[in-house]
Structure 1
């Protein structure tokens, strides 16, 4: 009788492959405390090494975020844009007549003035008034975040577009900085300061339609003295802490896509320089302007809960 093939012994396993030659593990920290591992890029360009020319694709748009009081939504977006892997030069403003923060009742808000009241002074005042209340409603944590981003709230309508943002931010009647530490009131301590010194941005993003209307009306009334294009978006975000976090993430995503489109258009124009893209020349930026509606449409498909508006305006 033929033997059952299922009872035949299994063939011996193949010999193991020859191990590769040992290679030094570059992820292990060396003895002098540094690591040989290159930093993670997350798809972004790394700074050029000494002696190398900067990568022309590393161009960054300059952003401005706007809400009513320059405290919640615009400041969350300001923080996101300036602390991202590919951080952007950013400034922020409010469009209201005064800074209004919630108080013990709807008829008792805490009211401050723009441009000469610091987040630190607001924080100290509310901490002394009722720490439990203002910590529970999120105002104190919000101000703690804000004072680590910039000195104090600024009003859009008081912004002198194109005027250098250098030196002291505000001055009191006697010409001294409001803060006991004068350095706190200097623009250079704002997150996103580098790149905004000239007082010009490429993109304005408001967080409420009435703020968008206020920005457009103000730009129209100024008469475009610089003849420089600026894209003004509105991303409609509910004014609470949770929605501000979501909106900040969405605005950063929009900023990344706009910046990628700008970088491509800039390369097509010859990498900036004499063609005028970096100087904001309208003809040099026409290629970027044409890409913006497509970028916004793709972004809106992913963020349908944040209705967006857009207009091409002029400084």
Structure 2
């Protein structure tokens, strides 16, 4: 979610959808065997925040969970699962037991997907294959491996924003020179020129951030 924050508040104003890939949302509890478990798509960040604050505010404030949830609830309604996302389906108001909260009005299409852990990258690539490319639309899937702690998340978020800026600049240049025809299905000159530049962009980015191992593949929505 740190990357979500960086991208959505950047000067470029990137439209962002964020997901998890596990079966449940798991947050640290009082011990390693007492995790706090929540369902994707139906539990709001505000609900998690208030519940954990009520359980033990001192504990969850000291370990950073309340700070994280407070940030998250100001970004979006609640956690969503990637495997439940339907490409091309406009996203509408979310309802949980009569409580309404906006989770976005995106059109359900993306050009780039970025994960922060290799197992999540594997899950995303596998799920895209399972979805069967209903839109026949190319999508670049990156993994930027970030350790799961606050300091690394901050550094990783900045690096992901840098990668997004580089990709956005290259795409804007191609559209300016070659127009936007065929961009969505990858058949136009602009989109093909952008797709061909991505490996070079990633290689240059990786030279700047050698401590953040990266993966990339071209997949289809």
CA–CA separation in structure 1 for the residues paired with 2:91 and 2:195 = 27
Q: For each residue in 1:48-107, what CA deviation from the matched residue of structure 2 results, as whole angstroms up to 9, or x when unmatched?
A: xxxxxxxxxxxxxxxxxxxxxxxxxxx110110011122101110000000000001111
Aligned counterpart in structure 1 of residue 149 of structure 2, from 240, 251, 260: 240
CA–CA separation in structure 2 for the residues paired with 1:146 and 1:225 = 31
Indicate whether 1:215 and 2:124 are aligned. yes
Indicate whether 1:309 and 2:215 are aligned. yes
1:5-84 alignment runs, 5 A limit: 75-84=1-10
Aligned counterpart in structure 1 of residue 178 of structure 2, from 269, 293, 299: 269
Are 2:87 and 2:108, in contact at CA under 8 Å, matched by a contact in 1? yes
| Secondary structure of residue in 2 paired with 1:187 | coil
State the match for 2:185 in structure 1. Answer: 281
Q: For each residue in 1:91-147, what CA deviation from the matched residue of structure 2 results, as whole angstroms up to 9, or x when unmatched?
A: 100000000000011111000000010000000011011111111110000001000
Root mean square deviation, CA, Å: 1.0
CA–CA separation in structure 1 for the residues paired with 2:207 and 2:215 = 13
Deviation at 1:269, TM superposition (A): 1.7
State the match for 1:96 in structure 2. Answer: 22
Are 2:111 and 2:138, in contact at CA under 8 Å, matched by a contact in 1? yes
| Secondary structure of residue in 2 paired with 1:94 | coil
CA–CA separation in structure 1 for the residues paired with 2:138 and 2:95 = 28
Deviation at 1:171, TM superposition (A): 4.1
TM-score normalised to structure 1 length: 0.68
Are 2:76 and 2:102, in contact at CA under 8 Å, matched by a contact in 1? no
State the match for 1:295 in structure 2. Answer: 201
State the match for 1:170 in structure 2. Answer: 95
Q: Which sections of structure 1, spanning at least 5 residues, go unmatched?
A: 1-74
Are 1:119 and 1:152, in contact at CA under 8 Å, matched by a contact in 2? yes
Are 2:87 and 2:134, in contact at CA under 8 Å, matched by a contact in 1? no
Deviation at 1:186, TM superposition (A): 1.8
CA–CA separation in structure 1 for the residues paired with 2:163 and 2:26 = 28
1:95-244 alignment runs, 5 A limit: 95-166=21-92, 168-172=93-97, 176=98, 179=99, 182=100, 185-188=101-104, 197-244=106-153
**Deviating 4+ runs (over 4 angstroms):** none
Deviation at 1:313, TM superposition (A): 0.3
Q: Which sections of structure 2, spanning at least 5 residues, go unmatched?
A: none
